[in-house]
Structure 1
Amino acid sequence: MKIAVVGSYGAGLTMRVPKAPGPGETLTGGEYAEGPGGKGSNQAIGAARLGADVSLLTAVGDDAFGAAARRLWMQERVDASHVIIGERPTMVGFILVEPDGENRISIAPGASDELGAQDVQAFAENIAAADVLVVSMEIPEEAVVEALRLGRTHGTRTLLNPAPARALPDEVWSQIDVITPNQSEAPILLGLSPDHALSDAELATLLRHRTGGAVILTRGGQGALLCSADGIEEIEPLPVEHVVDTTGAGDSFTAALAVALSEGSDLSSAARFAAHAGAHAVSIAGVIPALPTRAQLPSITIGTRS
């Protein structure tokens, strides 16, 4: 099973705090740590840990964070031979984590903003050879658009993790086979106001009408909704005894979903497998330590691809 990933890499600078400060407020008592992050890299590592043959396209700076990233990808057996070395510093994300595990993140994109359509075109052979192409949106729109276009051209199943959410060009929607927004991202993708009155099922249905593919709307502790040609199915939440850190849950979910789909699992079974990966991630502090191995998750059910 081969997975190609187009997305970001960044260093995560995390502070665990008693509470998030308000405007003009300074608080002490936080605990600081730094480590690798970026949705593309996280998803690539997550898929590799689950046994996939993964190639990654991203951009990093010619700096210590970029060098650390290359060492990490080698250690995790991710093919990073196409990674771009940009002129700007490696992307950095500042993360505040509260005691209940909720997080607030601010990102300085740096080198990630240098990833362009021509870089994606140079990655076309990897996309063509993959069973699933995973694209996330911490990179320029032109790179997202070109990756999805090439996926469709080469007949590779495309999985878009639309984070951070923003409006997409009309021509992109038909190139998405599976899209995985959360509850806050879905309305943004649809151009709705924050005070919209639509239910999660209605949001998922509208997104499905735009893509013609499948929508998996993730809902945190409420599980997920799968909207496909077979209708709407609720993916039940999994009990987690103690939520430690939600930062990497979405990336863990996406990586596991891609792996399951690349192995031929049906959408429902793949979403349930991904839910186990997401639940595992929230029980462990830090993103990379929280990404599960195959032995830490139940077996994937292989069904008819839908």
Structure 2
Amino acid sequence: MPANVVVIGSLNMDLVTRAPRLPNGGETLIGHSFATVSGGKGANQAVAAARLGAQVAMVGCVGNDAYGVQLRDALLAEGIDCQAVTTVEDSSGVALIVVDDNSQNAIVIVAGANGAMTPAVIDRFDAVLQAADVIICQLEIPDATVGYALKRGRELGKIMILNPAPASRPLPADWYSSIDYLIPNESEAAALSGLPVDSLAAAERAASHLIAMGAGKVIITLGAQGSLFANGTGFEHCQAPTVKAVDTTAAGDTFVGGFAAALASGKAESEAIRFGQVAAALSVTRAGAQPSIPVLSDVQGFKSA
């Protein structure tokens, strides 16, 4: 079946070390454990959408190394169409992650093959985009490619979602008119708007600013406080389900993938937001990134604690 959700973005191998604390400069620590886990915001969101009911295609780049094979295989195992996952002459993207006993972390990301995602790659797989209902982008590939993908998706009349992660500065002004749903977290909303986002009222001000910039609708994810939906005429604060959190890794990616899957299935916005929030809540009850993402039956059977 043609994919109804297409994700354009990053694929990274997460190299995760657990240690008693984060090391100081020049210091060597003895760690507790080490694991390699498939990740990258693009791949995480593709896995979330697939597990939550969508037909998904991934557009991205991996390196000609063992990690590239593993990253592709992980997506194929989820039933994701990988015809547009291109192997390039580079190392695959990696994230070097140290997590301490208090769950604080330090992360270094090396883009590797993700840096080879150019507008030409988007053009090469234009037929994949044409078949979609919803297209998702993030910011772990070159900005020029993100901007090109947004513009092309708008030309095709698709529902365009931008998860501006990781964002440290305002978006290019000409992107906003191509975005149907802008989905930042609190820190990203602050970086994009230049306004503090430290309360619900502050989130409303930031969302209003982003809509004034041209975004169609804004959903600011607020962690345990749920999310704020803004459409230019009003706001809706959507409470998060109550769960016992273990690890918040990939909760935002799970929300985005779940929201997109719900929209592609024909759910109304409010239903899609609730669906994404339940999926994200379930993800924080489990450790890891992709391993923590729930499947459709988990969400359908969820009962808040």
**Equivalent position amino acid for 2:128 in 1:** N
Residue 189 of structure 1 pairs with residue 217 of structure 2:
no
- Does the aligned pair in 1 maintain the 2:63–2:90 contact within 8 Å? yes
**Equivalent position amino acid for 1:4 in 2:** V
CA distance in 2, matches of 1:183, 1:131: 27
Which residue of structure 1 lines up, in the alignment, with residue 21 of structure 2?
19
- Does the aligned pair in 2 maintain the 1:17–1:96 contact within 8 Å? yes
**CA 1:208 to 1:98, structure 2 compared with 1: closer, same or farther past 3 Å?**
farther
Q: 1:51 is paired with a residue of what secondary structure?
A: coil
**CA 1:204 to 1:101, structure 2 compared with 1: closer, same or farther past 3 Å?**
farther
Residue 96 of structure 1 pairs with residue 74 of structure 2:
no
Deviation, structure 1 residue 237: 1.9
Which residue of structure 1 lines up, in the alignment, with residue 78 of structure 2?
76
CA distance in 2, matches of 1:255, 1:291: 10
Which residue of structure 1 lines up, in the alignment, with residue 254 of structure 2?
252
Matched residue count: 299
1:210 to 208, 213, 220: 213
Which residue of structure 2 lines up, in the alignment, with residue 304 of structure 1?
none
Which residue of structure 2 lines up, in the alignment, with residue 219 of structure 1?
222
**CA 1:193 to 1:290, structure 2 compared with 1: closer, same or farther past 3 Å?**
closer
- Does the aligned pair in 1 maintain the 2:189–2:197 contact within 8 Å? no
TM-score in terms of structure 1 length: 0.91
Structure 2, unmatched stretches of 5+, are none
CA distance in 2, matches of 1:213, 1:146: 18
TM-score in terms of structure 2 length: 0.91
Residue 173 of structure 1 pairs with residue 176 of structure 2:
yes
1:116 to 115, 118, 122: 118
- Does the aligned pair in 2 maintain the 1:97–1:245 contact within 8 Å? no
**CA 1:110 to 1:130, structure 2 compared with 1: closer, same or farther past 3 Å?**
same
Q: For 1:254-287, what per-residue CA distance to the aligned partner results, in whole angstroms no more than 9, with x for missing partners?
A: 1001011112222222111111111111111111
**CA 1:98 to 1:213, structure 2 compared with 1: closer, same or farther past 3 Å?**
farther
CA RMSD of aligned residues (A): 2.3
- Does the aligned pair in 2 maintain the 1:101–1:244 contact within 8 Å? no
Deviation, structure 1 residue 298: 2.7
2:35 to 33, 36, 54: 33
**CA 1:171 to 1:285, structure 2 compared with 1: closer, same or farther past 3 Å?**
same
**Equivalent position amino acid for 2:19 in 1:** V
**Equivalent position amino acid for 2:125 in 1:** F
Runs of 4+ in 1 over 6 A off after TM superposition: none
**CA 1:17 to 1:43, structure 2 compared with 1: closer, same or farther past 3 Å?**
same
Range 19-28 or range 29-38, more displaced: 19-28
Q: 1:92 is paired with a residue of what secondary structure?
A: strand
Which residue of structure 1 lines up, in the alignment, with residue 144 of structure 2?
142
Residue 200 of structure 1 pairs with residue 187 of structure 2:
no
Which residue of structure 2 lines up, in the alignment, with residue 162 of structure 1?
164
Deviation, structure 1 residue 23: 4.6
**Equivalent position amino acid for 1:282 in 2:** V
Deviation, structure 1 residue 144: 0.3
- Does the aligned pair in 2 maintain the 1:177–1:211 contact within 8 Å? no
2:266 to 264, 268, 292: 264
Range 116-125 or range 144-153, more displaced: 116-125
